[in-house]
Structure 1
Amino acid sequence: MQSMLRYIIPSTMRQNAKHQRDQWLKMTASDHDIMYHFQSSLRIGELERYIFTYDLYMGDEIPSDLTLDSLWLKIKNIENVTLRAAYLMGPYVLYADVRTKDYHHKQRLFISADQPQFESNIQPQQDFIAELSLHNLKKRYVWIVDIASQILFTKQASINFSITVGGSKESISVDSARNIQLGVQSSRMKVDRLTTADLWNASLLSKSVFGRRKEHLVILTHGLHSNVTSDLFYIKEQIEKTQNQHEEMLVVKGFTDNVCKTEKGIKWLGTRLAEHIVHNLYNDATVKISFIGHSLGGLVQSFAIAYISYNYPKFFEQVEPVNFITMASPMLGIVSDNAVYIQRLLAMGIAGKTGQDLSLQTYNGLKQPLLQTLSSSSALRRILKCFKSCTVYANACNDGIVPLYTSALLFLDYDDILDKLNMNTEDLQTDFFQRNFISPLTKAMDILMPQRVSQNGTKIPVASMLDSAYSVLIPPLPDKSYITDPKTRKDVVVHDKVYSGQDIPDHQSNSQLEVMNSSNVLLKTFNIAFGGQYKKLEEQIARNWHKDVKWRKVIINLKPDAHNNIITRRRFSNAYGWPVVDHLTETHFLNDDKSSRSWKLDPISKDEDFDWIVKPTVDSVFDVGPTGMICTFGEMLENLKTSTLEGMTESTVPTSYSQEELFKYEDCLDRDGGILP
C-alpha cells in the first residue's frame, strides 16, 4: 500500500504540472481576467513608475491559436469627489502617461497603436483608460507608466489611486474590479514598481555596478510653488542619458525640503540649499558641479553659490564649477511687468518675503534690495567668472510669469528677436494693453500659482483673462502630430548668442538710450510701467550680473504654457519644451570636454559688508503669503497631532516597531544576542 502511494502521488503531481504547463501555453491575450491590480498614494512632488513586461507566448514556437487582443490599463483617482473643489488644499489631481519601452521623442511613430497616451487632469473619481496594443507578433511587450501628483500647496495632502491591467476593457470596469486581489495575477505579466526614491537614487545602483568613480554633481533647483522630484524629473532623466559622454559619474540631485516653503525669501531658501550641498551631497569623489535653476530657482541657486563661496571658501577651489544655467528666471525681479496694485500687494507680502525680494523691496534691515546686493557681490561674481558656461534660457512670449527682459538680463538684440518671431506689431500692442489693464488679476494668480496653466495663444505677452481661465480647466496640450512626428516641430530657438562686456552699452551712450527708450513691444512693460521709476534699478542689477561674466543667452519661442513647457514639467502635456531640454543637454552635457581645465578664484572683497549672508534669518509665520499659510498651518496641525499622540503613548510599552526601528535594534545585538555597549 505504501509503495502504491509512493507511485500514485508523484504520478499525480507530474500530471498536474503537465496540465498547468499546457494551460499556460494555451493562454492568450484574450484572457478577460484582471492581470494586475495595485493601490498606492502620492504626496506633493511624488511620482511612481510601473514597468509592465508581458510575454505573448512561451518558448520558440508560436502557438497556432494565438490571438492579438489588446490589454487595457486603468488608473483611477479614488479620492472623494468632493475634493475636486479643494484646489488650495491640493489640488487632488493626478497626471499619468503610458508609452512603449522603445519610444523616443526624436523618432517618428508610423503605427498609431504605438503612440503614447496621457492625461494631465485626473480628478477625484475620474479614471484614465489606455489600450495596450498587441499588434505585432513578437514574444515580449514592455510598457512604461508614469503617475505623478499635481499637488501644489501642502505636504499633508495625499492622493490615493488604483492601477489595473486586464485582458479586456470590460475586465477593468468599476463593477468587475471591486475587491480584487492586489498584485500580479497572471503568469505572463511581470511588474516593476519604482517609487520616487527609486527613480532619484538610480545613481547609487550605477556606483555599485561601475565601482567608485569621480562625480560630477548636477544641482536642480525648483521655482515658486514647485518641486524638484516630479517637476524637474524629465530634465534629470535626459541629463543622465548623456552619461556615456562623461568620465565622471553624473549625480543629478536637488533639495526637497524647500517644497511648500518657497515664499520665505531667497536668502532663506538659498541658505538651506547651500548647507544641503555642502553637508549632504558633496563627498570626496565630487570633482565637478553644475547648477540648473527654473524660475525662482535661478536666484535661489545664485544665493546658495554666494553663501558657499563666503562660508566655505575652499569648496570651489576643490570642485570645478562647470555649468550655471537659469531657465525663465526673474534675475532682475518682476517689478515692471506687474500692474500697479499687484506690485503693491507683492511689496506688502502677498507672496511672502519672496514676493518682496522679487518686487525689489528692502526689509529686515537690508540696506538695499537683495537682488541688487546679490548681483554685485564679490562672493558670487568670483565663482560665476570661473564657470565654464553661464547660460540663461528665456521665453520670448507666452510666459505670463517671467517676462523676457528680466530672464534675459535686459541687454539683448530685441529687434532681431522680434523679426524672427514674425508677429504682427498691432496685435502685440493690443495684447500689451490687455495684459496690463485687463488681466492684472490673472497675473496675481500666476504669481501665486505658477504651475496652473494660464496662457493661450501665441501673441506677446499673453492672451486675455477669459482665455487664461479657460486654460485652467482645459490645459493647452500638444497636437498628436507634434508627439509622433519630429518633422512637424519647428525650431524654438530664435536667438543664441554669447554676450560679453563689449556687448553691454556704456552708461548714457546712444546704445544705452536706445534700450531704455525702445518702442520694441518686447520692452514695452519695462519702459512705461510705473512711469519708469524702477528702470534705473533694474538696469543697475542687469549691469551687475554682466560685470566680468560672459552670458550665453538662448531665447525661446514656445507655445503656452511657456513657463512650465521650458522645463517639460510633465513629459507629454508640456512636450513643447522637448527641444529646449534637448538643447540644454546637447550643448552643456553631451559634448563634454574631457581635457583638464584650471581655474583661479579671485579673493573676496574685504571692504564688502556680508551681513546679508551671515546674519541669521528669523523665522516667522508671517514670512509667507496666503498660499504659504496653507502649508504652514498644515504642518503646525500635523506637529500638534504627533506630539499629542506621543504624549498619550509615552507611558505605555510599545507592542510593535517600525521596520526601521527593528533594523536599528538588530544592529545593536552581538552574536550571542546580547546588547552591545
Structure 2
Amino acid sequence: MPYKINRMKNSLEINETGGTLLVDERKRLRIGELYRYKFSVNKDVIKEQGLDVSHLFLRIKNEESALLRPLYLTGPYSFYIDVRPHNYNENRKFPGKEIIPFVENLKPDERFKVKILLNENSRVGDTSLYSWTIDIISQLAVTTIPKLEFSFRIGTTRKVVKKSNGLFKSIEGVSLEMWDTETLWDLPPKFPEKPVHLVIMTHGIFSNIGCDMLYMKDKIEEMTFPMDESINPNIIVRGFMGNVGKSGHGIHCLGVRVGKYVLETVDKLNKKYKVDRISFIGHSLGGPTQSMAVRYISIKRPDFFDAVKGVKPVNFITLASPFIGVIGDFPFYLSVPLDMGALGLTGRDLNLKYTPLTSKDGLYADDEVYPEHSKYILEILPQAPAKKVFESFKRRTIYANVMDDGIVPLRTAALLYLDWRSIHKVQKIRKKNKNSPTSSEFVSSDSPESSGASSPSNENGNNVGEIPAESPNKKATLQWTLPQAVIHGSKINKYKRGQTNEANSDSDNEQGVFLDGQKFEPPKEANTVLSALSVLTAAIPDQEYIKNPAVRKDEVIHDKLYHPEELPPPHYENRPIVKKLIYPNESVNRIQERIAREWQETMTWRKVLVQIQPDSHNNIVVRRRFVNLYGYVAVEHMVEHHFGSKVCSELAEDANEPKDEPNQSSQADRSNEYNEGEISKGAENAT
C-alpha cells in the first residue's frame, strides 16, 4: 500500500479457554463503497507477550437478513471479499500450495472463514512482521439507499472469532490500518512540490467508480509510485462518484456532471499542487461520457486545455465503449425496449434516437451554428470545438473484446474500421512457418512495436501484438482469423466496408478483405442476452490461474496504430434512393459511418483487441480482482503502455511535449506515438 491512512489502537481480547481475539470490526457499506484493511502481526513482539502462533483465523459475516438473498435485481445484498498475503503479486508466480482466499458473493447471513498463515508468503522482507491486505467490497449495483452491514474478526482460534465477549487490553505487535472509499480515491501525489498528472476514470452502466474501477487505479499507482523522481509522472487518480445509480439519465447529463467535476477537481488541486497534465480512462458507457465531459470543458472553459497555460492532454483511453451506438448489433427485441425508454435517455442515445426538449448545455458554443446532422449525441461528441482537444491528446487508445462481449460488441468498440487483411496475412504466414524453429517468435505487423529492436513482453512471455503459435486450446479462439471457404450473404459485407486501406498501397486490388480468392470468416457475434447472463454464470478463475501467470491464455491478439489516410472511402455517402428504400438499416449504417469517420478522419488511434473469457465486458477492466482476473492482460497492457517507465521517461525528456499531427506526416515516413520506429507495413517484413 502506498500510504498509511489510519493506524488503529492495538488491542487483544484475552480469553484463557477460547483463544485471543485480535480484530473485531463492524461496518456498513453503500453502493460503490468498500473498506480496505491491512492487518499486520510482529511475531517476535507478540511471542514475548505469550502468543506463539503460526496461523490465525479470519471470519467475515454478512449481517443482513437471509430474507434478502433472493432480491438480486435490487441488490445484490452481498459482498466481494479477498485476502492477499503481503508477497502476492499477479505478475509473479505465487509459490507453494497455499490458496489465495476470496469469495465472489457473500450473501446475507453467510460467513467467510479463512485460515491465514504466518509464512514466507505473508512475511515482510527478512523481518518478523507478517502482513495481509483484505478488501471488503459492496456488490450493490442498482439501488443507492441500502447500507449493508458486515462484521470482521481475526483471532487465534476458530472459537474466539465466532463471538466476542471478553475484555480488551492494549498490546504491542498487532496493527490494523483502514482505508475507506473516500480515502482510497483521495490519495495525494508522491511529490507534492512537483507538477501533477491527473487521471480521471469514468464508469459504465450499472457500475461505479469506487469499487469497479479500483483494480485499474491500484495498478496505475503500483506502476508509477515506485518510479525514480526524475521520471515519476506524479500521478493522482480520481473519479466522479455522483453518477452512481443514474445510468439512465443520458450521455449528455452524465458527461456534463463529469465535466463539472473535472473543473472543480482541478481548481481544488491547484490550491495545493500544480496540475499540468490530464488523462481520461473510460469503461463501457464511460467512453462516451468522458467524451461529453471533454466537450463540456472545451465549451465552458476554452482555455482549460491551452497548450501553454492550461492542462496538457496526455491519454484518452476507452475499454469496450460504444462509440457508434449499439443499434446495429443488438437484436430487434432488445432495440425496441431501448427506444421506449427501458434504459432511460441513455438507451435512446445508444440506439441513435433523438430526444427533443432536452438540455443543450455544454453541447454548443453560444455563437456556434448547429451542423446539419447534429441531433444525435454520439455524433455531436467529436465535433468542433472539442475535436481540437481530442486531436491534442498525445495518445488515443481503444481496447475492445474480439468475442464474448454482447454488451458492447467489437464493431462499435473499435470504431467500425479494422485491418482484417493484416490479421489474415499474419495468420497465413504463421501457418506456413509453423514448423519453423523461429515460428514461435513471429511478431505481427499489427503491433506498434514490431519494427523496434525488441518487443515488450507480458508475463506469459508473448510479445504484445504477437499472434502466438497455434495450440489446441487456442484453436477455437483464433479460428475466425484462418482462411475459410468463401462465405455468401450479407454478414461479411459489414466487415468488407470496415476494412482499412494500406497507407502505402496504390493498387485498388490490394484493398478489401479478399486475399488470393479467400476471405475471412468473421468473428462469432456474441449474444447480448447470454453476455448479460454471463455476469452470473461465467466461470471464475481457479487457483492455478490466480497464482501462476504462465497458465493464463487470455491475450492481446491485435495491436496497431490506425492513421487517417488508412480510412476507406465512405460507403453510405450519396447512395441511390432505391438502395435507401430497399435496405432497412441504411439510415442507421449511414449515421454510424459518419460518427466513426468524424472520430478518425483527423486523428491517429491505437486499437488493441483482446481475447479474454466471459464475462469479457467486466473482465476487460477486472471489475473484481479475482473474479474478473481474466482481463488482467488488458489492464496490464494499458498500464504498461500509457503509464510505464518507458513512456514516463519519454514524457520527462520531452519538455515541449509535441502533439501528434497525423495529417502532416507522410504516408511513407511515419513514426508511431511511442517513438519506437516506423510501423512495418507488410506481414512478410515481420519475419
Cα distance in 2 between the residues matched to 1:555 and 1:279: 35
- What amino acid is the match of 2:157? S
- What amino acid is the match of 1:132? I
Residue 39, structure 1, aligned to residue 26, structure 2: yes
Equivalent in 541, 546, 568 of residue 478 of structure 1: 541
Structure 1 counterpart of 2:137: 148
Matches within 5 A, 1:113-512: 113=98, 115-135=99-119, 139-173=128-162, 177=163, 187-203=172-188, 206=190, 210-241=191-222, 242-243=224-225, 244=227, 246-282=231-267, 283-284=269-270, 285-317=274-306, 318-364=310-356, 368-414=374-420, 421-423=477-479, 460-462=524-526, 469=533, 471=534, 473-490=536-553, 492-508=555-571
Q: CA deviation at 1:423?
A: 2.7
CA contact (8 A) 1:289 1:319 kept: yes
- What amino acid is the match of 1:84? R
Cα distance in 1 between the residues matched to 2:383 and 2:214: 32
Residue 545, structure 1, aligned to residue 532, structure 2: no
Q: CA deviation at 1:539?
A: 1.3
- Secondary structure of 1:536's aligned partner: helix
Q: CA deviation at 1:415?
A: 5.5
Cα distance in 1 between the residues matched to 2:66 and 2:550: 42
Give CA-to-partner distance per residue, 1:122-169, whole Å, 9 cap, x none.
100011111101245972210110010011112211110001112123
- What amino acid is the match of 1:219? I
**Cα 1:101–1:311 shift into 2, 3 Å:** same
CA contact (8 A) 1:213 1:248 kept: no
Structure 1 counterpart of 2:656: 597
CA contact (8 A) 1:337 1:529 kept: no
- Secondary structure of 2:392's aligned partner: coil
CA contact (8 A) 2:94 2:548 kept: yes
Give CA-to-partner distance per residue, 1:25-77, whole Å, 9 cap, x none.
xx999983322111001111111011111122239xx8899865421111110
Cα distance in 2 between the residues matched to 1:464 and 1:310: 36
CA contact (8 A) 1:332 1:542 kept: yes
Cα distance in 2 between the residues matched to 1:467 and 1:338: 12
Structure 2 counterpart of 1:91: 76
Structure 2 counterpart of 1:664: none
**Cα 1:291–1:529 shift into 2, 3 Å:** farther
CA contact (8 A) 1:357 1:369 kept: no
CA contact (8 A) 1:28 1:57 kept: no
Give CA-to-partner distance per residue, 1:304-360, whole Å, 9 cap, x none.
111111111100001111000011000000111111131111111110111110000
Cα distance in 2 between the residues matched to 1:236 and 1:553: 21
Q: CA deviation at 1:249?
A: 2.1
Cα distance in 2 between the residues matched to 1:158 and 1:530: 48
Structure 1 counterpart of 2:448: none
- Secondary structure of 1:543's aligned partner: helix
- Secondary structure of 1:49's aligned partner: strand
**Cα 1:540–1:161 shift into 2, 3 Å:** same
Q: CA deviation at 1:464?
A: 9.4
- What amino acid is the match of 2:68? L
Cα distance in 2 between the residues matched to 1:313 and 1:464: 40
Cα distance in 2 between the residues matched to 1:424 and 1:221: 32
CA contact (8 A) 2:90 2:549 kept: yes
Cα distance in 2 between the residues matched to 1:467 and 1:270: 26
Cα distance in 1 between the residues matched to 2:221 and 2:656: 23
**Cα 1:30–1:236 shift into 2, 3 Å:** farther
Cα distance in 2 between the residues matched to 1:397 and 1:462: 6
Cα distance in 2 between the residues matched to 1:411 and 1:50: 45
**Cα 1:398–1:179 shift into 2, 3 Å:** farther
- What amino acid is the match of 2:524? I
- Secondary structure of 1:90's aligned partner: coil
- Secondary structure of 1:308's aligned partner: helix
CA contact (8 A) 1:498 1:550 kept: yes
Cα distance in 1 between the residues matched to 2:289 and 2:100: 35
CA contact (8 A) 1:264 1:352 kept: yes
Which protein has the larger Cα radius of gyration, Structure 1 or Structure 2?
1
Bigger mean CA deviation after superposition, 305-314 or 164-173: 164-173
CA contact (8 A) 1:35 1:185 kept: no
Cα distance in 2 between the residues matched to 1:58 and 1:38: 23
**Cα 1:281–1:529 shift into 2, 3 Å:** farther
Give CA-to-partner distance per residue, 1:616-658, whole Å, 9 cap, x none.
xxxxxxxxxxxxxxxxxxxxxxxxxxxxxxxxxxxxxxxxxxx
Cα distance in 2 between the residues matched to 1:477 and 1:100: 20
Q: What TM-score do the two structures reach when normalised by structure 2? A: 0.70
**Cα 1:507–1:197 shift into 2, 3 Å:** closer
* Alignment length (residue pairs): 522
Matches within 5 A, 1:557-636: 557-590=611-644, 591-592=647-648, 593=650, 594=652, 595-598=654-657
**Cα 1:39–1:396 shift into 2, 3 Å:** same
Structure 2 counterpart of 1:438: none
Cα distance in 2 between the residues matched to 1:286 and 1:504: 36
CA contact (8 A) 1:45 1:230 kept: yes
- What amino acid is the match of 2:45? M
CA contact (8 A) 1:215 1:248 kept: yes
**Cα 1:111–1:358 shift into 2, 3 Å:** same
- What amino acid is the match of 2:417? F
CA contact (8 A) 1:30 1:68 kept: no
Bigger mean CA deviation after superposition, 287-296 or 275-284: 275-284
> How large is the Cα RMSD of the aligned pairs?
3.5
**Cα 1:424–1:324 shift into 2, 3 Å:** closer
Q: CA deviation at 1:505?
A: 0.5
**Cα 1:291–1:171 shift into 2, 3 Å:** same
Which structure 2 segments of 5+ residues have no match? Answer: 1-11, 359-372, 428-466, 468-476, 486-522, 662-687
- Secondary structure of 1:112's aligned partner: coil
Give CA-to-partner distance per residue, 1:464-494, whole Å, 9 cap, x none.
968975x555542112211111111235101
Q: CA deviation at 1:292?
A: 0.4
**Cα 1:464–1:372 shift into 2, 3 Å:** closer
**Cα 1:179–1:401 shift into 2, 3 Å:** farther
Cα distance in 2 between the residues matched to 1:362 and 1:465: 25
Q: CA deviation at 1:256?
A: 0.9
Cα distance in 1 between the residues matched to 2:17 and 2:398: 53
Cα distance in 1 between the residues matched to 2:288 and 2:378: 12
